[in-house]
Structure 1
Amino acid sequence: MHAAAARLRVFLCTLALVCLGLAGAAPPTATAVPTAAPTPSPLCAWRYMSNSTVLNVAFPDANATYWVLPYTLGPNTTLELSGTYPAARYFSLNTYGTDFNTVDTLRDNQIVPDPGSANPFGNAGAAAPTPTNRSWHATVVPGAADHARNQIRGLPAAAGSAPIGFLIIRVYVPDNPNSAPGGVPLPEVTAKVGSGAALPMQPCGAVFDPAAYTGPIADAATAGFENVIAKAASGAFPGNVPEATFVNPASTSGLFPNGDNKYIGAGLTYQPGRIVVVRGKSPSFPDTRAGQPVTAPGRQLRYWSMCQNDLVSPYPVVACASDFQTRLDADGYYTYVVAAPADTPATVAPTVTVIPWGSTTVAKKVLFLRYMLPAPAFYPQSIQASQDDHTDPAVTMGPYYPRAAYCSAAVFAAGGYRACGLH
């Protein structure tokens, strides 16, 4: 079994055990679960981590890491979170439903710090406080949530059922690339039922044997997941759009979308000897890896990236070039070359960024440009404005629109992007 598929099977096959335990329901009967499968503790936090190498599903960004806590909220149940603001470009708390659609989002600069602490994402131009005074608390609640009180809306129980939901932490571009959570522990989680006892959810530490997760339950869970993701991905882009042309997706529903991001994408098809060249203007951003504060004034976006993805289930990312990884020319423009190793020019100009095609056995790809949190002054030229106003991004975005073209590797090597028809 492929490693990613094996991890996906583990993820799906253990959901029922984790979530039933949290809801207080009886576990499945012995005949319903493969006897060889290890039984996870039902009350443990952050069961799964997802990134470009582990549980790589639903078009993640390669410069972000996602931690997933499957949950159910029984009657009067809440999840209490206690954490520390990470040293990173961005982080958020997000809840999703069984259909992988967004329920609620609480973003870094919306999270009110504990008394005596400070939020490094909230004060424009301020120096980041030390880790000893960067604490916060938040609560996942059934029903309506008050963000001013650090509440996040979860899926409530209804009519005797407790639907499975997902709580996901996202961390983008940690200051220390060797610390995915941004140099701080993942938040502590406690389940509370009304005014009764608090049930601490310790970090999950079980080591699973993916080969043990076989049989009808694993097959059904995997098929169900892939059906939801495949349906969402197949409807993401409108039909009759030329390849290598960036357009607004019809929807990102069902793909664990982040409400702080908007995307435009271009479909691609592999042919030997052919590359894709993309040209556009770079928005400014806070280069936190270079020591700039997230709240630095005058920045147009919090984050942006160009990502190459396989257009086949479970829709993994191949590679991304984020803002700080992208080379620019003297006018602030980027030039990307998307190519398989055999087609990559032997030498490229120092202003060119190469994004790998990935496996050529996957012929269909999709290239995404991701914009996060535009500043008010930049909003009219952002992807967000194009989608809010239902306008053509090629018009709305002006020079920031990425123009792409197929080109032979030899032509590009001889004449650069201009020889491929771009300006």
Structure 2
Amino acid sequence: MRPFVRACAALSALALAGGVFTGPTAAAASPEIGCAWQFMSDATTLNVAFPDASATYWVLPYALVDGDRITVHGWYPYARYMSLNTYGTDFDTVDTLRDDEIAPDPGSGNPFADPAAAGLPPDARRWQVTVTTGTADRSRNEISALPTAPGAQRVPVGFLIVRVYVPDDPQSLPGSVPLPEVSLTRAGRTVSIPTCRAPFDPSSLPGGPIDTAATDAFDAVIASAAAGAFPGDVPEATFVNPASTSGLFPNGDNKYVGAGLTHQPGRIVVVRGRAPTFPDTGAGVPPAAPGTDVRYWSMCQNDQVSPYPVVACAADHQTRVDDSGFYTYVVAAPADLPPRAATDPTVTVLPWGSTEVPKKVLFLRHMLPSAQFYPRSVQASQAQGSDPAVTMGDYYPRAAYCATETFQSGGWRACLGG
């Protein structure tokens, strides 16, 4: 995962000289110079900063001066969720524009705002967004770029990221539509930026100064952000609100509670809570369908070491629930997994991951809670600064360490009580 920060460091330096620049130099032995969406990040490629395994992220580095704009013309994906986010080189959010906030092109419909548009073909699902250096006007589908004023940021390089969660067809990560088309307008001249033929492999970047000081600096940003993500003196296997997600490419539509974990042989983690309802888009439910609690939720296991990759996630539609609507997760290394957990139809097993990385962090994500569900959401707990166990009620993930033998003999009740 270190190649990711090497690549970011290189692209940051190159972008300064070339405006929108999304490819390596010729010295990097790549045939594609200046193509769009050069990076793709997911749970297997450029796995960094606690991504969700059901999401894919496409990255466009940019460096803009006053009056520049980037035009992004795309298709609403056949998926659960899509958004555009801008970030600085501190990996913190500049602006967010999500699917249901993006007005469609004339003659098109937005399936994320109108359930009746869910069945439209791709050519009737078009949209256009402008990345602007000025104040973003949402009525014009604008999103703010990194500020360009002197002193706003020492290195005025930013990143535009498109996220797609849970494509209807898991084999089509962009959601059965092409990646958005990109153009740059500078000094009245507009230039189209071709889409890359394939994601760039950052391991091909050459060595040199970028591979040392700049890479270490990018590593330090991620490491510092992750190290400060949770308040100190919190017991392990206890879900708490994070102190901050700044510096980890945060998605403003998600909020998290997390629990620190440490591996010990013969010990597992058991987590139980009520599952929010969600629009099961893979089963044909429109993403804008009314009456569900959240747009998306998931439970993810992550390494607590730089670059903070995800080990595995169970998304809402992958999580088993019992007749009362409660989930039970067992987080375990293969040698510690109770046979009972592997065969119980109400238990979802999450792998521990490498035991050579003993420290982990387990995240519960809530995305876009409905007004009705909001009082029990992670979002409400963080907005109020309250104890999530109190605010979330049954939806709070109770967790505990448990011996493998204890779960085998008594199930989740022997570990958590109740």
Contact 1:156/1:162 (<8 A) preserved: no
CA RMSD of aligned residues (A): 2.1
Percentage identity across aligned positions?
Answer: 62
Quickly say closer, same or farther: Cα 1:152–1:42, change in 2 above 3 A. Answer: farther
Contact 1:125/1:297 (<8 A) preserved: no
Aligned to 1:256: 249
1:40 CA displacement: 7.0
Deviates more, 1:329-338 or 1:139-148: 139-148
1:147 CA displacement: 1.2
Give distance in 1, aligned partners of 2:72 and 2:205: 32
Contact 1:19/1:42 (<8 A) preserved: no
Give distance in 2, aligned partners of 1:40 and 1:191: 21
1:47 CA displacement: 1.1
**Number of equivalent positions:** 412
Q: Deviations over 1:89-118 (max 9, x none)?
A: 000000011111111011000000000100
Aligned to 2:41: 50
* 1:236 correspondence with 2:236: no
1:36 CA displacement: 5.1
Give distance in 2, aligned partners of 1:250 and 1:272: 30
Quickly say closer, same or farther: Cα 1:208–1:330, change in 2 above 3 A. Answer: closer
1:366 pairs, out of 331, 354, 361, with 361
For structure 2, list consecutive stretches of 5 or more residues without a partner in the other structure.
none
Contact 1:278/1:337 (<8 A) preserved: yes
Quickly say closer, same or farther: Cα 1:129–1:253, change in 2 above 3 A. Answer: same
Quickly say closer, same or farther: Cα 1:172–1:375, change in 2 above 3 A. Answer: same
* 1:220 correspondence with 2:206: no
Residue 28 of structure 2: SS of its match in structure 1? Answer: coil
Give distance in 1, aligned partners of 2:39 and 2:339: 40
Contact 1:19/1:70 (<8 A) preserved: no
Contact 1:303/1:323 (<8 A) preserved: yes
Aligned to 1:375: 370
Give distance in 2, aligned partners of 1:144 and 1:250: 29
Aligned to 1:10: 7
* 1:108 correspondence with 2:112: no
1:130 CA displacement: 2.0
Contact 1:73/1:162 (<8 A) preserved: no
Aligned to 2:172: 179
Residue 221 of structure 1: SS of its match in structure 2? Answer: helix
Contact 1:13/1:213 (<8 A) preserved: no
For structure 1, list consecutive stretches of 5 or more residues without a partner in the other structure.
none
Quickly say closer, same or farther: Cα 1:183–1:309, change in 2 above 3 A. Answer: same
Give distance in 1, aligned partners of 2:222 and 2:177: 32
1:23 CA displacement: 6.0
Contact 2:340/2:411 (<8 A) preserved: no
1:83 pairs, out of 58, 74, 98, with 74
* Aligned ranges 1:1-400 → 2 under 5 Å: 4-22=1-19, 37-38=28-29, 43-124=34-115, 127-159=118-150, 163-195=156-188, 197-205=189-197, 208=201, 210=203, 212-348=205-341, 349-400=344-395
Give distance in 2, aligned partners of 1:209 and 1:122: 37
Give distance in 2, aligned partners of 1:386 and 1:106: 23
Give distance in 1, aligned partners of 2:179 and 2:28: 27
Q: Deviations over 1:172-213 (max 9, x none)?
A: 000000000000001000000142x21111112475572552
Contact 1:275/1:339 (<8 A) preserved: yes
1:19 CA displacement: 4.5
Letter of the structure 1 residue corresponding to residue 390 of structure 2: V
Letter of the structure 2 residue corresponding to residue 159 of structure 1: P
Give distance in 2, aligned partners of 1:141 and 1:151: 7
Give distance in 1, aligned partners of 2:161 and 2:176: 18
Give distance in 2, aligned partners of 1:328 and 1:79: 44
Give the TM-score normalised by structure 1.
0.93
Give distance in 2, aligned partners of 1:113 and 1:192: 21
Give distance in 2, aligned partners of 1:402 and 1:156: 39
Give distance in 1, aligned partners of 2:416 and 2:236: 15
Contact 1:386/1:396 (<8 A) preserved: yes
Give distance in 1, aligned partners of 2:117 and 2:408: 46
1:42 CA displacement: 5.2
Aligned to 1:406: 401
Contact 1:38/1:208 (<8 A) preserved: no
1:123 CA displacement: 1.4
Give distance in 2, aligned partners of 1:295 and 1:223: 43
Quickly say closer, same or farther: Cα 1:23–1:307, change in 2 above 3 A. Answer: closer
Residue 277 of structure 1: SS of its match in structure 2? Answer: strand
Contact 2:109/2:117 (<8 A) preserved: no
Give distance in 1, aligned partners of 2:347 and 2:202: 43
Deviates more, 1:135-144 or 1:341-350: 341-350
Letter of the structure 1 residue corresponding to residue 13 of structure 2: A
